[in-house]
Amino acid sequence: MKQAVCLIIGVLFSNLLIAQPEKFEREFKESFSTKPKFEFKFDSRFSFLRNTEVKTTGIKIGLSFKRKFNLGLGINQLLIHSESKIIEQNDTIPVNLNYGYFSPYFEYVYFSSKKWEFNLSTQFGFGEASFEYRDSEGNLQKNKRTALISYEPAMLIDYKIIKWFGIGTGIGYRLILFKNGSIKENFSSPVYVIKLKVYLGAIVRSFTGKEIPAE
């Protein structure tokens, strides 16, 4: 399955653009000429590390243009620390592997209805991994800091439960493009996504009768 999901998403995205380039270009121009609406999401991305499932939780805030193109920024953190060990001065020290990153994202909604959205998503991750442990005095120490840049394409499905909230799921792949440091872990992995979507504009409009200004 290694990189297969990434390839499938790439082929699907390419086929959509090649098959209907005029439609995509028209939607792009029309969408970005309209006033955007805020969107807010919580998502959990489950991936694999050392053949063990790990969970990365993210918060995303961005803008939606005519429910066709979404873009914004996320903050992601490995929620369940992965246990490991390092050797320092001939001592074996239990540590936790910590991984966090910022992720600008872009989504193209290729099908939408009153309740459903099917979209192709891509995000880049810019962050750092490190081993963390408590020293003899109880202070938090970080060891072997490693800079990482990742690329995460995904196919996502959203369902609006009510006008304020929706849920979503999807599959994707995290591919490490750049790695600078001494941590040997392989962070490239298939991922599957579970998310909660909050329609901020609809909530504010329901209580105040006004739109959130996006400028």
DSSP 8-73: HHHHHHHHHHHHSHHHHHHHHHHHTTSPPEEEEEEEEEEEEETTEEEEEEEEEEEEEETTTEEEEE
pLDDT at 187 over 50: yes
What is the residue-averaged pLDDT of the chain?
81
Parallel/antiparallel/unpaired status of strands 116-134 and 82-88: unpaired
At residue 101, the pLDDT reads 96
At residue 208, the pLDDT reads 76
Q: What is the mean pLDDT of residues 116-135?
A: 88
100 near 77, Cβ under 8 Å? Answer: yes
Q: What is the C-alpha separation between 66 and 175, in angstroms, rounded?
A: 30
Q: Name the architecture of domain 4-208.
A: Beta Barrel (2.40)
pTM: 0.79
Single-letter amino acid, residue 137: E
Q: What is the mean pLDDT of residues 74-88?
A: 71
Q: Which of 24-28, 60-64, 149-153 has the lowest mean pLDDT?
A: 24-28
At residue 7, the pLDDT reads 54
| Cα–Cα separations (whole angstroms), residue 4 to 127, 169, 175 | 24, 18, 11
User: Residue 6's pLDDT band (boundaries 50, 70, 90)?
Assistant: low
Domain boundaries defined on the chain: 4-208
